[in-house]
């Protein structure tokens, strides 16, 4: 009996060693995107919301305190997924709301597709928001081997409904599933890690709907913030707490699988938090909760000021990214595309792009991995739309408001990160240079798909140009357009 036990043990050890030998040496990549997170709403940024799991990862990695996204959900996700500024393909303005039928253009190559070409298994769980009206826009058709989540923007955290229709699917088939959305997203992520075949590397994109409105959380999470008087802030804080718990579960799953040491974890918000009163939402809902805290930064989600586009972010990879570091070197969501591809073994990510699809992203691996490294970026485009634009070159940032009355604001971000002193009149030559850059991008941009499809809607619903300030995705009750869809049965049938 003892001899059989020893033989079994030796066989198990041999199989484990074989698994190690056949495991792909390239890193697994877990990218966690949080929706509408305030820069100041993490423990390591001084928040009163406890985030111990996130703090531990950030403290033992590199805090990317000058990482930039875009002002709103769809443009930010498009930038990450393509490595290209959204103005290149018409997604620079507003978001893809339920009644709209466009999506990320099908000729744009996605990060998931590019990594799959390099031999990665690609998985997504959570919020897509890059097109829902046609199946060909869905993640399962855009390079992901598997997807579970919602394809529109905001849904109810419990029913997964938007406008009375269920927006919750697995690999292209809609379903009804009980449970809190953030927990279900995490369950699927943990399950994906546990079932992963380590003979190939994995790309896992966890795109939380949290902490986007509606500010809904389980009772046990809310009870941790019973002392918070403002109901929106209480719900929001509880949602941040559930995201932190999710991060802890994901890390433990990687450890249990034995792949934590060969996994790069990147954490990022898409844009700044909702941290100011909005006249648009007040008009539509009668009130506008603004529960987020963007720290020292001016503005909020939808703005081109730092509070709208500078996002909380960090990267962690044990043994490969030195811990205990913080940088204010510039980086942008588009930079993850070439960075991940280089780590995946692509020597020249640009050479793999379709003709005419030049990457705006830059490889920032040295910034992450070397303690003395600088960003390859000298500047970053924050966005260009028909009515506004912003760019940062070095320490100088120009915000251009083109709608009448027009406005030009110039800030020294290093000396004045809160953007309190407009230097435009004092430094006209800098204004001219940066404005020329913005106009150059504008001339090269594609027409906004939002404006192209919904110009009559805008003309009817927005009487004043000054109202064009907020992602009305959260408020406008437009009939959701899902393929074929008036009931769950029809939704399922349309996807088969």
* Residues designated as active site: 73, 129
Give residue 295's Cα distance to chain centre. 19
C-alpha span between 309 and 326 (Å, rounded): 19
CB 165 within 8 A of CB 479: no
3-class secondary structure, 17:
helix
State the sign of the Cα–Cα–Cα–Cα dihedral 442, 447, 450, 454.
positive
C-alpha span between 66 and 58 (Å, rounded): 14
Strands 263-269 and 313-316: antiparallel
C-alpha span between 189 and 183 (Å, rounded): 10
Which tokens sit at 184?
Answer: 């279900």
Beta-carbon contacts of residue 321 (< 8 Å; ≥ 6 apart) = 61, 62, 264, 315, 368, 369
Q: Where do runs of H (alpha helix) occur along 23-64?
A: 52-59
Q: State the SS3 of 308-335.
A: HHEECEEEECCCCCCCCEEECCCEEHHH
CB 324 within 8 A of CB 362: no
Q: Where are the beta strands (DSSP E) in 7-120?
A: 28-34, 62-64, 67-68
β-bridge mates for residue 381, sequence order = 391
- Kindly provide the b/e burial profile for residues 342-363, where b requires at least 16 CB atoms within 10 angstroms of the residue's own CB: ebbebeebeebbeeebebbbbb
- Calculate ∠ Cα 218-312-329, nearest 5°: 170
Q: Which of 479, 480, 483, 474 is nearest to 94 (CA)?
A: 474
CA 415 to each of CA 373, 419, 423: distance values in angstroms, whole numbers, following the listed order:
22, 9, 12
| Burial (CB count within 10 angstroms: exposed 0-12, middle 13-18, buried 19+), residue 142 | buried
| Burial (CB count within 10 angstroms: exposed 0-12, middle 13-18, buried 19+), residue 373 | middle
Q: Which of 171, 170, 207 is nearest to 73 (CA)?
A: 207
């Amino acid at each position: 009996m003892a001899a059989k036990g020893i033989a079994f043990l030796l066989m198990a050890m041999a199989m484990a060693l074989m698994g190690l030998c056949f495991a792909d040496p390239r890193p697994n990549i877990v990218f966690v995107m949080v929706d509408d997170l305030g820069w100041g709403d993490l423990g390591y940024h001084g928040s009163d919301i406890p985030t111990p799991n996130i703090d531990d990862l950030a403290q033992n990695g590199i805090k990317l305190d000058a990482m930039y996204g875009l002002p709103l959900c769809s443009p930010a996700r498009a930038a990450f997924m393509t490595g290209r500024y959204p103005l290149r393909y018409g997604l620079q303005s507003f978001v893809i709301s339920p009644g709209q039928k466009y999506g990320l253009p099908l000729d744009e190559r996605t990060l998931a597709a590019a990594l799959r070409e390099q031999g990665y298994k690609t998985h997504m769980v959570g919020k897509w928001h890059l097109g829902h009206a046609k199946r060909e826009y869905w993640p399962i058709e855009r390079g992901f081997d598997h997807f579970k989540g919602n394809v529109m923007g905001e849904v109810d955290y419990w029913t997964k409904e938007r406008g009375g229709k269920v927006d919750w699917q697995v690999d292209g088939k809609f379903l009804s599933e009980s449970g809190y959305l953030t927990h279900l997203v995490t369950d699927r992520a943990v399950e994906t890690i546990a079932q992963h075949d380590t003979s190939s590397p994995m790309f896992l994109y966890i795109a939380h709907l949290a902490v986007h409105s509606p500010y809904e959380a389980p009772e046990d999470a809310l009870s941790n913030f019973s002392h918070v008087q403002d109901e929106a802030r209480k719900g929001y804080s509880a949602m941040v707490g559930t995201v932190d718990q999710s991060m802890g579960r994901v890390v433990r799953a990687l450890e249990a699988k034995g792949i934590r040491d060969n996994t790069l974890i990147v954490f990022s918000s898409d844009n700044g938090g909702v941290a100011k009163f909005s006249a648009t939402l007040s008009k539509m809902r009668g009130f506008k909760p603004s529960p987020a805290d963007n720290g020292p930064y001016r503005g909020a989600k939808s703005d081109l000021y730092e509070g709208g586009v500078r996002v909380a972010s960090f990267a962690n990879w044990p043994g490969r990214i030195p811990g205990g570091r913080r940088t204010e070197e510039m980086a942008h969501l588009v930079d993850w595309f070439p960075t991940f591809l280089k780590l995946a073994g692509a020597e020249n990510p640009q050479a793999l792009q379709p003709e005419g699809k030049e990457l705006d992203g830059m490889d920032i691996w040295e910034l992450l991995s070397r303690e003395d490294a600088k960003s390859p970026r000298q500047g970053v485009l924050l966005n260009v739309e028909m009515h506004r634009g912003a760019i940062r070159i070095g320490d100088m940032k120009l915000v251009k408001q083109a709608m009448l009355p027009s406005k030009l604001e110039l800030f020294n971000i290093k000396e004045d990160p809160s953007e309190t002193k407009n230097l435009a009149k004092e430094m006209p030559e800098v204004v001219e240079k940066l404005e020329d850059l913005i106009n150059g991008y504008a001339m090269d941009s594609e027409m906004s798909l939002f404006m192209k499809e919904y110009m009559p809607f805008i003309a009817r619903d927005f009487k004043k140009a000054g109202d064009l300030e907020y992602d009305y995705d959260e408020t406008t009750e437009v009939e959701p357009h899902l393929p074929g869809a008036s009931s769950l049965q029809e939704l399922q049938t349309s996807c088969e």
